[in-house]
């Protein structure tokens, strides 16, 4: 606990990481206070599924997402999801900061990212913030790297694997990774080569970034600073959209199965 508290002190203040506010010791009780936000990225992604929650809007705008809506862009024509890539850049920036300090998250996923003011992501759910007494305990096996599934130990490059799954989550508006696979079978199948599929509306370069995160060899996975640079480059390119939320005839959402994302 003291080691993890020291990590939070070293992290200091960062625009994309939930920060430590302070500590108070009173008699035999130690209270630790962190920044608090209730809007998680997971919730925002699932609630932005326009066809399910805002069918009139989806039909009118021919768009299956309301994620970080920008009316000016809508009026100009088909909307790419550059806003979603901006979210990912912020998360990569925050994770790069943690990695530079030698802090391993171990539970990176959309559920452990909060969204401030509707647009700015901040990473949470690590270190002391991970301790909780919630009735529903998250099950992170679907985001775990092969080495974590094998040994239950996370290293910095394990977070890179999880980031690839988070990119897929954002792209699919909160889809549950490997929703067609029973939880007890996920580990074995991932270790044998199973990877998340490329949705029709995700460009090749963005999907290749995910595949790079899921390399079996840790040395072949990019660093978070490299991922941040790659995402910034994708965001600057305007020739080919890397993530399109425009509605098409055969469109279906990737399943969101909350019962698969929590411990029984």
**What pLDDT is attached to residue 68?**
58
Neighbours of 84 (CB within 10 A): 23
Where helices occur in the chain by DSSP H, the ranges are 2-11, 41-47, 50-53, 55-61, 71-76, 82-100, 146-151, 156-171, 183-191, 204-213, 224-236
Nearest to 112 by CA among 152, 163, 53: 163
Q: Where are the domains of the chain?
A: 38-260
Mean of per-residue pLDDT scores for the chain: 88
pLDDT the model gives residue 77: 38
The residue ranges of the chain whose pLDDT is under 50 are: 70-80
Q: Using alpha carbons only, how large is the chain's radius of gyration in Å?
A: 19
d(CA 171, CA 196): 12
| Cα torsion through 33, 35, 37, 42, rounded to 10 | -100
Flag whether the pTM goes above 0.75: yes
pLDDT number for residue 38 = 81
Burial of 58 per CB tally in 10 Å (0-12, 13-18, 19+): buried
CATH of domain 38-260: 1.10.510.10
Q: Of 151, 150, 160, 143, whose CA–CA distance to 104 is shortest?
A: 160
């Amino acid at each position: 606990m003291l080691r993890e508290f020291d990590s939070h002190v070293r992290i200091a203040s960062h625009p994309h990481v939930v920060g430590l506010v302070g500590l108070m010791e009173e008699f035999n009780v130690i209270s630790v206070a962190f920044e608090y936000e209730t809007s998680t990225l997971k919730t925002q992604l699932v609630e932005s599924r326009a066809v399910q929650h805002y069918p009139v809007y989806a039909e009118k705008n021919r768009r299956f997402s309301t994620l970080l809506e920008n009316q000016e862009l809508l009026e100009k024509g088909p909307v790419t999801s550059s806003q979603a890539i901006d979210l990912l850049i912020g998360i990569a920036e925050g994770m790069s900061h943690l990695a530079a300090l030698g802090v391993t998250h171990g539970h990176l996923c959309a559920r452990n990212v909060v969204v401030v003011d509707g647009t700015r992501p901040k990473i949470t759910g690590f270190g002391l913030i991970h301790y909780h007494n919630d009735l529903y305990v998250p099950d992170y096996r679907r985001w775990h790297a092969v080495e974590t599934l094998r040994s239950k130990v996370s290293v910095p490059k394990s977070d890179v694997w999880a980031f690839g799954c988070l990119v897929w989550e954002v792209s699919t508006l909160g889809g549950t990774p490997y929703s067609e696979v029973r939880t007890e079978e996920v580990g074995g199948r991932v270790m044998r080569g199973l990877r998340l599929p490329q949705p029709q509306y995700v460009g090749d370069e963005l999907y290749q970034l995910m595949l790079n995160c899921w390399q079996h060899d840790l040395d072949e996975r990019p660093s978070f600073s490299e991922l941040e640079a790659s995402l910034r480059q994708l965001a600057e390119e305007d020739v080919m959209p890397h993530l399109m939320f425009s509605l098409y005839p055969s469109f279906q959402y990737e399943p969101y199965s909350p019962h698969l994302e929590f411990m029984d």
